[in-house]
Amino acid sequence: MLTFPAASVRMVVTLAVAVLGCQSRTAPTPSGAGLRIPDQEARDFTLTETSEGRKNWTLWASYAAMYNDRNLVDAQTVRIEFFDDKGKRYSTLTANQGLVDQRTNNLEARGNVRILTETGVSMETDSLRWLNRVQRIVSQAFVRVTRNRDVVTGYGFESSPNLDNFHIQREVRAEVREEVKDGDRSRP
């Protein structure tokens, strides 16, 4: 039978505790980014961006984690409403996740991203970014824009948040359909 002196056992246990205690405290995030444990967490989170007393956008999330050293808010199950210069809402964005850079108020939306305007235009993608300084939405991912019965798809999207004028850079496909008038069912 092997025996170890008590001092050796204590030294091994002390060393093991010291090594395990010095490991970095990280928590997995839904995005897989492996960010540090949040400085603050909130449920039913709301963040509003204003300019000269005018509301530009409001973000709601079921959960948000704030990382002070990165000036980052990682929000889950998000809805963002964009407002015009008269304070009227003109579009709503929904996504599984939203990342907010608190220095610039740039946003990144990920997972089942959808924008719906008050005029009924919709845009769907896996991810997009809101560039706050220039008030533009951009995405390099595949996008699908639907207006009435017309559908445009492609990659390299850029637009204002009202989706009135948008640009798609590559692999653009469009399906344009005439409106069906009452009683005229001969057209698709």
- Is 146 among the domain residues? yes
Compute the radius of gyration of the chain from its Cα atoms.
Answer: 24
Task: Give the chain's domain count.
Answer: 1
The pLDDT score that the predictor gives to residue 126 is: 95
Band of pLDDT at residue 176, cut at 50, 70 and 90: confident
Are the C-beta atoms of 57 and 160 separated by less than 8 Å? Answer: no
- Is 157 among the domain residues? yes
Q: pLDDT tens digit string along 60-87?
A: 999 999 999 899 999 999 999 999 888 8
The pLDDT score that the predictor gives to residue 51 is: 84
What's the whole-number mean pLDDT along residues 114-125?
Answer: 92
d(CA 74, CA 39): 12
Q: pLDDT tens digit string along 42-64?
A: 899 998 988 888 898 899 999 99
Nearest by Cα to 68 from 41, 47, 43: 41
The pLDDT score that the predictor gives to residue 27 is: 46
The pLDDT score that the predictor gives to residue 15 is: 40
- Is 68 among the domain residues? yes
pTM of the model: 0.72
- Is 30 among the domain residues? no
- Is 75 among the domain residues? yes
d(CA 131, CA 1): 70
Domain range spanning residue 154? 38-175
- Is 184 among the domain residues? no
Band of pLDDT at residue 30, cut at 50, 70 and 90: low
Q: pLDDT tens digit string along 124-157?
A: 999 999 998 888 999 999 999 998 888 999 999 9
DSSP secondary structure of 85-98: TTS-EEEEEEEEEE
- Is 29 among the domain residues? no
**Mean pLDDT of all residues belonging to the chain:** 80
Q: What share of the chain in percent tops pLDDT 70?
A: 76
- Is 181 among the domain residues? no
State the CATH number of the domain containing residue 79. Answer: 2.60.450.10
For the beta carbon of residue 129, count every other beta carbon within 10 angstroms. Answer: 17
Where helices occur in 22-170 by DSSP H, the ranges are none
